Amino acid sequence: MSTTYALPPLDPLLRRSAKRTRDIFASCPNDGIMEDEKSARIRLSVKINDEYRDFKELPPALLAQQGPIGPARPKEQRKAITAGPSSDTSKMIATIDNTPKVQPSTFVTSNKLSEALTLHKTTRTIKPTYHPPWKLVRVISGHLGWVRSVAVEPGNQWFATGAGDRVIKIWDLASGELKLSLTGHISTVRGLAVSPRHPYLFSCGEDKMVKCWDLEANKVIRHYHGHLSGVYSLSLHPTLDVLVTSGRDASARVWDMRTKAQIHVLAGHSATVADVKCQESDPQVITGSMDSTVRLWDLAAGKTMVTLTHHKKSVRALAIHPTEYSFASGSAGGNNIKKWKCPEGAFVHNFPGHNAIINTLSVNAEGVFFSGGDNGTLTFWDYNTGTPFQNLDDVPQPGSLEAEAGVFCSTFDMTGTRLITGGADKTIKVYAEQSQ
């Protein structure tokens, strides 16, 4: 005797299977098979409760400051308007109080509000310090290539320049006369620094070499080997016997001045490190790179403390204020010079208006801030407020092309009263404040 079993209806099985498949793969084979509205509402309310339950109420500290917001509900109970004679309705409407109770401001006292407004006004109306205008007082010729680096000796008697002709020249600061030429580099000299505590001059160039010159014997006494490509900048630490160099291998390297040992490789930039600066307190090393970032380094650990990503284009120049705990960085494009506060690298303000590729920045103790551009434009600013007080154009020397008006390097002398610049017309120009 054969028994026949009735197959279960396929429709519920299909729906159940499709729902499970949808749960697994989050895709529905049929638009008709959707979760019902009730379960969707429950799921949403659970999700909202999970995510926002801790934030439904303000913390007690904020609640104490916060006054009630918005119009208050009238105290007397409102009456519902029911159908009836029109006279009754109008009487009911007349009895409803439409005037909400006046609420105090969310500021605890009116004094706080006035203080805030006063502070706002004062921050807007800082007047720039007056600085006398600057003028070109001397043009020094002698190099046979672009002048790419300049450094003033701590005694303020002479200064050194390095150029594309591979020669370092030492000039008398007062008269502008050539005192000495140092040869040894086999490519453009890109960085110079004179030690304030030793009779040493340090130089670096596109030949990957970093040299230490003994100024008593006028010859190279040390080489610092390690850079994999051209070295674009160097800086001496003001108190430690440490030298920091940076270049096209996207690194900055910290050297022991005496032993020639490489202490750290400051790695992290992804493009040429165009400028490096040292100062006594943290951050002791600051680098600006063609990857459009500025990094502040922990010298002891050899690691990045902060990376500043505000610039849109490559950062080619840095300047540390000699007395104020701050520094500035310059790149290409609009709003391209920025001031930063140490040690955390907090952004202070822009120096807007110098629309050029900024190759060099310098600042003196009086707050005169100089920026030099690739197109030969020079701007003098008030460092505190970011206000430009003078714009000049670099005049190429006779025999130079008009395109050779770029400014590549600059530095103030030790007194801050003279500015020395080097440019693409192979000359060194000295600017001074105009006397009253």
* pLDDT string in tens for the chain (436-residue length): 556 667 778 888 888 888 888 777 765 555 555 667 888 888 888 888 888 877 777 777 777 776 655 555 555 555 555 555 555 655 665 666 566 666 655 555 556 667 766 666 555 557 888 999 999 999 999 999 999 999 999 999 999 999 999 999 999 999 999 999 999 999 999 999 999 999 999 999 999 999 999 999 999 999 999 999 999 999 999 999 999 999 999 999 999 999 999 999 999 999 999 999 999 998 999 999 999 999 999 999 999 999 999 999 999 999 999 999 999 999 987 789 999 999 999 999 999 989 999 999 999 999 999 999 999 999 999 999 999 999 999 988 877 777 778 999 999 999 999 999 999 999 999 999 987 5
Residues 146, 126: Cα–Cα separation, whole Å:
40
Q: What is the DSSP letter of 155?
A: T
Structure tokens at 257: 């001045």
Q: Retrieve residue 32's tokens.
A: 């008709």
Which residues have C-beta within 8 Å of that of residue 410, sequence separation ≥ 6?
A: 150, 360, 361, 362, 370, 372, 419, 420, 421, 422
Q: Identify residue 177 by its one-letter amino acid code.
A: E
Q: Are 278 and 240 in contact (CB under 8 A)?
A: no
**Is residue 23 situated within a structural domain?**
no
CATH number, domain containing residue 352: 2.130.10.10
Q: Tell me whether residue 94 is in a domain.
A: no
Residue 132 lies in a domain: no
- Is residue 54 in some structural domain? no
Instruction: Classify residue 344: in a domain, yes or no.
Output: yes
Domain that residue 389 falls in: 137-433
pLDDT of residue 5: 67
Contacts with 59 (C-beta within 8 Å, 6 or more apart), sequence order: none
Are 146 and 433 spatial neighbours (Cβ–Cβ below 8 Å)?
Answer: no
User: How is residue 54 annotated by DSSP?
Assistant: G
Task: Quote the number of domains for the chain.
Answer: 1
Amino acid occupying residue 7: L
Sheet holding 210-214, edge to edge: 189-194, 200-205, 210-214, 219-223
Question: Does residue 162 contact residue 146 with C-beta atoms inside 8 Å?
Answer: no
Q: Tell me the three state secondary structure of residue 384.
A: coil
pLDDT in tens, 21-48: 877 776 555 555 566 788 888 888 888 8
**Residue 62 located in a structural domain:** no
Structural domain includes residue 327: yes
Q: Is 350 helix (H, G, I), strand (E, B) or coil?
A: strand
In a domain, 162, yes or no: yes
